[in-house]
Amino acid sequence: MTASPHSDPEPVVRFDNVGMRYGRGPEILRDLSFDLPRGSFQFLTGPSGAGKTSLLKLIYLAAKPSRGLVSFFGRDTATLPRRDLPDLRRRIGVVFQEFRLLNHLSVFDNVALPLRVAGKKRSDYAEDVAELLAWVGLGDRMSALPPTLSGGEQQRVAIARAVVGQPEILIADEPTGNVDPEMGMRLLRLFAELNKLGTTIVIATHDLQLVRMVDAPVMTLSNGHLHIRPSRGRRQREADQREAEGREALDAMSPPDPESGDE
Ligand SMILES: Nc1ncnc2c1ncn2[C@@H]1O[C@H](COP(=O)(O)OP(=O)(O)OP(=O)(O)O)[C@@H](O)[C@H]1O
């Protein structure tokens, strides 16, 4: 499944002619229309300042469009009552570009936070949190405080916190910006596993090597407009279909076979 203009009857997120500006500033996003189908995986790219973070904010309910419609599980985000926001936000895992860890909590407690907020008991999640931290290479830093970690380590804590509750949507803003290529691939595998379990994923990145690793649609922002390149698999299927249609059209035009007895 792919990000595409209104192809899904019940998308997780739908943008319909969306524009966005900050205050009285210029419109930085213009006429954006697309769906994020349930369980889809897509990358978001574009030059610095193109509006990637702003687009993600519209998805994770931290900003409202200046015009057009953004709907989240079928609900118009511009008219959502404030009291509904916490419940909706719990369905989204976000990896912020600047991490936003709680500096007074240990690595373990930062990652466990979404589970605690959801009312789970420590004894129920302790093993899962430890396993996830080991997977992102932080098994020996579980009691450290975030300010004592490197940027790449803090980024991995932020990723573990975003995925630990298996959110329905995962939004990640430059999630591999501070790690080496090997760890970048490991984190990508984590996102792919989560996607297999049904999570819809959007990853904003400048890292084209990362983009090449997954056969997913690529949404590119440029001058406020969005271009969506379908996945390689989908482009190939479309090319095969065009070729088959071309062959059928040629067959239909060829003269009847005299041996067949047709007039
Ligand atoms: N809070 C804000 N108030 C006013 N303008 C803002 C605000 N946040 C972002 N902008 C402007 O909106 C535009 C898009 O910014 P945004 O952070 O969305 O881009 P980006 O593609 O994520 O950039 P980067 O790749 O550098 O993170 C920029 O011109 C930026 O200056």
161 lines ligand 1 (CB under 6 A): no
User: What is the complex's ipTM, to 2 decimals?
Assistant: 0.98
Closest-CA residue, ligand 1 atom 11, reads 49
Among 29, 53, 57, say which to mutate for ligand 1: greatest number of ligand atoms within 8 Å of CB.
53
Mean pLDDT estimate for the chain: 92
28 lines ligand 1 (CB under 6 A): yes
246 lines ligand 1 (CB under 6 A): no
Q: What is the pTM of this model?
A: 0.89
Among 54, 57, 66, 222, say which to mutate for ligand 1: greatest number of ligand atoms within 8 Å of CB.
54
pLDDT number for residue 260: 60
pLDDT number for residue 7: 63
50 lines ligand 1 (CB under 6 A): yes
Instruction: Report CA(55)–ligand 1 centroid distance (Å).
Output: 10
46 lines ligand 1 (CB under 6 A): yes
Percent share of the chain, pLDDT over 70: 94
For residues 157-165, give the mean pLDDT: 96
pLDDT number for residue 1: 42
- What pLDDT digit, counting tens, does each position of 12-61 carry? 999 999 999 999 999 999 999 999 999 999 999 999 999 999 999 999 99
224 lines ligand 1 (CB under 6 A): no
- Residue 253 in this model has a pLDDT that exceeds 90: no
What DSSP string describes the chain?
Answer: ---BTT--SS-SEEEEEEEEESTTS-EEEEEEEEEE-TT-EEEEE-STTSSHHHHHHHHTTSS--SEEEEEETTEEGGG--GGGHHHHHTTEEEE-TT----TTS-HHHHHHHHHHHTT--HHHHHHHHHHHHHHTT-TT-TT--GGGS-HHHHHHHHHHHHHTT--SEEEEESTTTTS-HHHHHHHHHHHHHHHHTT-EEEEE-S-HHHHHHS---EEEEETTEEEEEPPHHHHHHHHHHHHHHHHHHHHHHSPPPGGGT--
